[in-house]
Amino acid sequence: MMVGLDAPGKTTILYKLKLGDIVTTIPTIGFNVETVSLHSRTYTLWDVGGPDKIRPLWRHYYAGIDASIFVIDSNDIPRMEEAISELRRLTSAEELTNVPCLIFANKQDLPGALPPEEIARMIGLTLRPEMLMHVQGSIATQGVGLAEGFAWLNSVLDALGK
């Protein structure tokens, strides 16, 4: 399951992984789902829309997932607190206990984008490194950081026996 506020690049990530190219996207109302193979593992990725009216529906996608992916627009400073609040809501859900969360700090190519280390600090990962979370800088339109993020996720899923 891949979630985040509206417009951080979730759909761009999904189709960059699936097609190896960028596609023209429109705001996701509902979801997109694709199967992609990465690092000798097949992932079924659910890209769930992020507008605030849709976010309460995210919980319907929690059952049976092995991992979650949260995408943050690193350049959207005015909504960073809102993004982190939604991330905390996601990771505190009882159904997602012991489910790893890969966080893409996307749009790192834009001026003023917060670096992944700063976002990790804001989330509190620097104080709790044992958490099953990882912040990976990314530039979805170029594919930068995507393979590295999924390499981390793969290693955690392997360690968890999933």
Q: Which of 3, 13, 5, 8 is nearest to 107 (CA)?
A: 8
Distance between CA atoms of 97 and 39, rounded to whole angstroms? 24
Question: What ranges in the chain are assigned the alpha helix state H?
Answer: 10-19, 80-91, 116-123, 146-159
Instruction: Record the tokens describing residue 108, joined without a space.
Output: 């790192």
**Residue 144 DSSP symbol:** B
- In this model, does residue 129 exceed pLDDT 80? no
Instruction: Record the tokens describing residue 93, joined without a space.
Output: 């859900």
| 40: Cα separation from own chain's centroid | 20
Percentage of residues of the chain with pLDDT beyond 70: 93
Task: Please give the annotated binding residues for Mg(2+), written as ranges.
Answer: 11, 28
3-state secondary structure of 31: strand
pLDDT digits (tens, 9 = 90+) for 95-125: 998 999 999 999 999 999 999 999 999 998 8
Angle between helices 80-91 and 116-123 (to 10 degrees): 60
pLDDT of residue 52: 78
57 vs 153 pLDDT, higher one: 153
Give the chain's domain count. Answer: 1
The CATH number of whichever domain residue 114 belongs to comes to: 3.40.50.300
> Range of 14's domain?
2-159
CB 38 within 8 A of CB 157: no
The overall average pLDDT reported for the chain is 91
- In this model, does residue 161 exceed pLDDT 70? yes
Query: How many Cα atoms within 13 Å fall on the side-chain side of residue 48?
Result: 21
Q: Give pTM, 2 decimals.
A: 0.93
Q: Tell me the average pLDDT across 139-145.
A: 98
Distance between CA atoms of 37 and 17, rounded to whole angstroms? 9
Distance between CA atoms of 146 and 30, rounded to whole angstroms? 23
Which residue type, as a one-letter code, is found at position 79?
Answer: R
Task: Please give the annotated binding residues for GTP, written as ranges.
Answer: 4-11, 50, 106-109
pLDDT digits (tens, 9 = 90+) for 7-41: 999 999 999 999 988 777 766 666 888 999 998 89
